[in-house]
Amino acid sequence: MDNKFKDFKKELNRVYRKNKIYKEKMQEQGITPEDINSWEDIKKLPLTTKQDLLKDYPNGWNCVPTSKIKMYHSSSGTTGKPLIVGLTEKDIEFRKETIKEDAKQAGITSEDTVEICYGFGMFTGGFSFYEGLKDLGCKIIPTGAMSTEMQLFYMQKLQATVLLSSPSHIMHLYEKAKELKIDVKKLPIRIIRVGSELLTETMRKKIKDAWGEDVSVTQDYGMTETLGPGLGMECIYENGMHLNPNYYFELIDPITKLPTENEIGELVVTTIYNECFPIIRYATNDLVKLSKEKCPCGSTSPRIVKFLGRTDDMLKVKGVKIFVSQIEDFLFMHPYFNHQYEIVISKEEYKDILTINIEYKENLINVPKEKIASYKIEVEQEFKNKFGITSQINIVDNKTIKPYPGKIIRVRDLRKLKR
């Protein structure tokens, strides 16, 4: 029995004693911790869902008395009430070590000056990176709540070498810099570390084109439920996020919810060292593709090489299943579009209507209307050929689609409002 499994078995016993909700789930299946004696046996345990975590709200999932909790974070709550997660001193220290390993994977050192553009509120990102990178010895520029102009001001004046934000905000910074006649390629930024949103390869290329090909653009993966960033960490080779060995991961079929041996499936996470808010076999809703090939960095940890989307964000339009990431890849292949777009799905006379609003990279006043009309027809036909469904592509002026200050929302499904 390896040490990691011994730690997990100890944790499982603690959860069984302290967590009434999960204990009842185990009892419903006639299982006790004594039945789990190997990693293979973990499949016998019930899955945990987001709905489970919201039972007996907000403290029902905690496994420590509230007197031990030193900090709270919460999810965005964009699809319902926010999930509130407590952290003990032990959790905070564990997260610091996780962030330091995250920074190491990205190539960040104590010599770096790091600008953190994530908010310093209930969202885990800002505080997580502040705590960990400060502990690493980095100089911190905490500009999360500031305007884009002020973020660029401090980036210049304090000579930031590392930038932390979401992919869409990184591009928003670039667009604002162009307005202000700031050449971001002349700034000393050497590393851009993104999170909070999905980073597609086409978006990575856009960021490199904007900020410089020699700038390292990597991502991390995390969630409030597991204390924040650092669940998956991409190294400097930019070929997928290494899964954190301090957690246990599985893949399940997103439909049957049964374990799968395929390289593609829904990611399931089990915490081992989370004191206040441990979760066992948490079905994340994230559809991923894993690789077990050894990375050039020397790590043998499995890597998330592609996010296919979220099982609850998968769009079904006119009977066709399609993910937002697939639409984004399609849009970003076209050189005349910038990074801002939105997808609107409506229903007319019982038929689904798919509309995509995408910003043109130039001011439309300077572009002949005939050219835009022709380009629109061309893109709509390409979309139909690729996905098998028709769409209405609206090419709009730049700065038409307002950027979101937090986690970006790409889809407005108006069909749900008519139910």
In this predicted model, what pLDDT tens digit does every residue of 144-202 receive, in sequence order? 989 999 999 999 999 999 999 999 899 989 999 999 999 999 999 999 999 988 888 88
Helix/strand/coil for 140:
strand
% of the chain exceeding 70 in pLDDT? 95
Q: How confident is the model at residue 48 (pLDDT cuts 50, 70, 90)?
A: very high
Instruction: Confirm if 331 and 341 have CB atoms less than 8 A apart.
Output: yes
And the tokens for 411? Answer: 């889809």
One fold for 89-310 and 315-418: no
% of the chain exceeding 90 in pLDDT? 66
Q: 62-66, 146-150, 244-248, 336-340 — which is least confidently predicted?
A: 336-340
d(CA 259, CA 210): 41
**Closest to 104 (Cα-Cα) out of 301, 300, 297, 306:** 297
Tell me phi and psi for residue 113, to 5 degrees: -105, 115
- Summarised one tens digit per residue, pLDDT across range 289-323 is 999 999 999 999 999 998 877 766 677 787 777 87
Higher pLDDT, 378 or 76: 378
pLDDT at 419: 46
pLDDT at 65: 95
And the tokens for 386? Answer: 């690729």
pLDDT at 280: 97
Run of H or E residues at 339: strand 337-348
pLDDT at 404: 57
C-alpha 169 chain-centroid distance: 14
pLDDT at 388: 85
Average pLDDT rounded to a whole number, residues 323-334: 84
Dihedral sign (CA 236, 237, 241, 244) = negative
pLDDT at 154: 97
Whether 106 has a pLDDT exceeding 80, the answer reads: yes
Q: How confident is the model at residue 1 (pLDDT cuts 50, 70, 90)?
A: low
Name the pTM for this structure.
0.79
> Which amino acid belongs to residue 76?
S
Average pLDDT rounded to a whole number, residues 72-91: 84
Whether 418 has a pLDDT exceeding 60, the answer reads: no
Whether 141 has a pLDDT exceeding 70, the answer reads: yes
Whether 417 has a pLDDT exceeding 70, the answer reads: no
Helix/strand/coil for 99:
helix
- Summarised one tens digit per residue, pLDDT across range 207-257 is 999 999 999 999 999 999 999 999 999 999 999 999 999 999 999 998 899
Listed by start position, the domains of the chain span 89-310, 315-418
CATH class label, 315-418: alpha beta
Which residues, other chains included, contact 365 with Cβ-Cβ below 8 Å and sequence gap of 6+? 397
Instruction: Confirm if 351 and 342 have CB atoms less than 8 A apart.
Output: no
Tally of CA atoms within 13 A in the half-sphere of 161 that contains its CB: 10
Helix/strand/coil for 210:
helix
392: left (phi over 0), alpha (psi -120 to 50) or beta: beta
Dihedral sign (CA 188, 399, 322, 380) = negative
Q: What is the DSSP string of 226-264?
A: GTEEEEEEE-TT-S-EEEPTTEEEEEE-TTT--B--SSE
Location of structure tokens 């104590």: 110
Q: 15-29, 160-174, 394-408 — which is least confidently predicted?
A: 394-408
Q: Per CATH, the architecture of 89-310 is what?
A: 3-Layer(aba) Sandwich (3.40)
DSSP-derived letter for residue 67 is G
The CA–CA distances, whole Å, from 397 to 362, 373, 400 equal 7, 14, 6
User: How confident is the prediction for the chain on average, in pLDDT?
Assistant: 90
